[in-house]
Structure 1
Amino acid sequence: MTRASLALVVLGPFALLGLATVLTWVERRLLGLWQDRHGPNRVGPGGLFQPVADGTKILFKQDWIPPFADRSVFILAPVIGMMTVLLSFGVIPLTDTLWIAGNLNVGLLFILGMMGLGVYAVVLAGWASNSKYALLGGMRAAAQMISYEVFMGLSLLGVVMLAGSFNLRTIVSAQAGLWFIVPQGLGFCVFLLAGLAETHRLPFDLPEGENELGAGFHTEYSGMKFGMFFIAEYAGIVLISALIATLYLGGWRGPWLAPALWFALKTGVVVVFFILLRAALPRLRYDQLMALGWKVLLPLSLLNVMATATVLMLRATP
């Protein structure tokens, strides 16, 4: 491993954490713009230092563990949530030759595996808190994440079939002539909705429904442990947006600008779209959320797989 690669591995997670922190300010400003109200505008120019103030407050806030909680599991849960998100970024290609960790032949499977492990964070947080509200939030989150990961994986099969590989660099290279969002529009829509549910974003933030569960699976958390869950959620938004840019929008490919700038621009557009959905859509009921997944998204994802396979077979037929 070269010094540059080692520096990227060491500094990459800190850069991602900083990006997730800045994203909290971006979301507040955009929500204020779209909802015709003031966003943060007191701390620094345009409220730019508000994330610094929030981070400082969380850092020095009392880190209290309820006496009725399972202490070791209670501490472990946010660590799992943070690590699974950060590890997923390691195999996403920023350019044709640049990764945080390295090029992995099964990079897409690795990311899906890390997302699957992320379920343990919310389940353990809900169970270890020994609180009925946290437990209900954890069970909701587990059912939601596991269910939508099924559709997320099926929606990506069309991309894998077109590219002939699970390697993310190969998938981007296969989009040289046409972005996969065109032939895989249906799969893209399913993946987008599954990504919203995976990151607990509105209108799919039922595990954190404050009108029902207080704060869901992290009701009993405070201080930096709560901050880890909070930052992991925003890092997850960036992760899903980066995956969409890589799998459906041509990754780093584009004219005139540098490849890394194209990748950042595409990822940023998807992040802004995620924030716009929060400003525009109300929260669904939990039964509506699960019904949407099993009754609508599952058949659509299977239809997309069958249609893609049929087209590829017809092309291969002499």
Structure 2
Amino acid sequence: MTAELLIGVGVMLVKMAVALAVALGLAAYMILLERKLLGRFQVRYGPNRVGYFGLLQPLADGLKMLLKEDIIPDGVDRRIFLVAPAVVAGMALLAFMLVPFGETLTILGHAVPQVIVRTNVGLLLVLALSSLAVYGLALGAWTSDNKYSLLGGIRGAAQMISYELALGLSLVPVVMRARSLDLSDIVAAQSGLPFAVTEPFAFILFIIAALAETKRIPFDLPEAENELQAGFHTEYSGMRFALFFVGEYVNMVLLGALIAVFFLGGWHGPILPPIVWLGIKVLAVPVFLIWTRASLPRLRYDQLMALGWKVLVPLALVNVLLTGAILVAAA
């Protein structure tokens, strides 16, 4: 029993280390990819000086942030000010422990699930962890003792609360079809057709709500640098600013993983190995987010809130009713 426990703990630690390295590595190079693609969209060069084709730029940026002075303004609550950026990045990283990246493998006679933590309420835990990130944003803004930061934090909190409702409702049809909250079961239910085909309306609603959750253009009202200087992280510098920055890009990768799991069939696909299919689907989503940033203007705040409460929530409720009616008729 002790040997089995040790093996289980060892496997868990290895999976955690791999998931953390992959998530942070993808987030770092997602920043480079965004700068490169935005450069192409805007008919200019992106970073191309550090390393071949600029591939060492993320390392240079990380080193620069480490060496920058960590400035703490007067009048702030030091404990909350210092912890808030870690909450934003930490919640996104924690959510990766629930994302399945393959079927169960048998290694040395032991069944090893290709997920760090498998639970029958995985979808609820993902939503719970994503909702906790708002505390880091709001508390960091409030304790900065800066009116622009506070306005950004209030906007961010209202935006995330509003769109979480539409986000959760858009996933109800997925749960109804999979008949499970376990993310691995949801992927298994898409072995035939992905839910993006059978539930296209829910797929579109989820993408729009998730864009607002990740605070990406056209929904980046908490930052809005042309009116709030930089919004909720105006007073942050050095690695604490970098944590907010990394948290945003980890959220982009996490969003890609969740869309792949919920709507694109996860690791299912022909010819190529399952992990390759999953990687393609995960990376396609951040590229789409970068494309929207280069193409769409920012909404006004009243337009943002009206879209969430007056459009997305009613449409998501109607979609739940339609899905229920279709499933009952087909039974």
TM-score by length of 1: 0.97
Aligned residue among 287, 295, 298 for 1:272: 287
Report the counterpart of residue 152 of structure 1 in structure 2: 167
SS of 2:195 mapped into structure 1: coil
Contact 1:73 1:124 in 2 (8 A): yes
**Do structure 1's residue 96 and structure 2's residue 111 form an aligned pair?**
no
The 10-residue stretch of structure 1 (200-209 or 8-17) with the greater mean CA deviation from structure 2: 8-17
SS of 2:196 mapped into structure 1: coil
Q: Quote the offset at 1:99 in angstroms.
A: 3.7
Q: Give, in whole Å, the separation in 1 of the partners of 2:114 and 2:121.
A: 14
The runs of 4+ residues in structure 1 deviating greater than 4 Å are none
Aligned residue among 53, 75, 86 for 2:82: 75
Aligned residue among 184, 190, 197 for 2:199: 184
Aligned residue among 260, 269, 274 for 1:245: 260
Report the counterpart of residue 66 of structure 1 in structure 2: 73
Report the counterpart of residue 122 of structure 2 in structure 1: 107
Aligned residue among 174, 180, 193 for 2:208: 193
Q: Deviations over 1:165-198 (max 9, x none)?
A: 0001101111111110012111111110111111
Q: Deviations over 1:228-265 (max 9, x none)?
A: 00000000011111111111000000111111111000
Contact 1:5 1:100 in 2 (8 A): no
User: Structure 2: 5+ residue runs without aligned partners?
Assistant: 1-7, 105-112
Q: Any residues of structure 2 matched to 1:155-234 within 5 Å, and which?
A: 155-234=170-249
Q: Give, in whole Å, the separation in 1 of the partners of 2:213 and 2:55.
A: 28
Q: Quote the offset at 1:290 in angstroms.
A: 0.8
Contact 2:102 2:115 in 1 (8 A): no
Q: Give, in whole Å, the separation in 2 of the partners of 1:237 and 1:248.
A: 16
SS of 2:44 mapped into structure 1: coil
Q: Quote the offset at 1:2 in angstroms.
A: 5.1
Aligned residues: 316
Q: Quote the offset at 1:295 in angstroms.
A: 1.2
Contact 2:15 2:116 in 1 (8 A): yes
Report the counterpart of residue 307 of structure 1 in structure 2: 322
Aligned-CA RMSD value: 1.1
User: Structure 1: 5+ residue runs without aligned partners?
Assistant: none
Contact 1:13 1:86 in 2 (8 A): yes
The 10-residue stretch of structure 1 (242-251 or 31-40) with the greater mean CA deviation from structure 2: 31-40
Q: Deviations over 1:57-93 (max 9, x none)?
A: 0011001111111100101111111111011000100
Q: Deviations over 1:245-294 (max 9, x none)?
A: 11100000011111111100011111111111111111111111111111
Q: Quote the offset at 1:3 in angstroms.
A: 2.8
SS of 1:254 mapped into structure 2: coil
Aligned residue among 19, 27, 41 for 2:34: 27
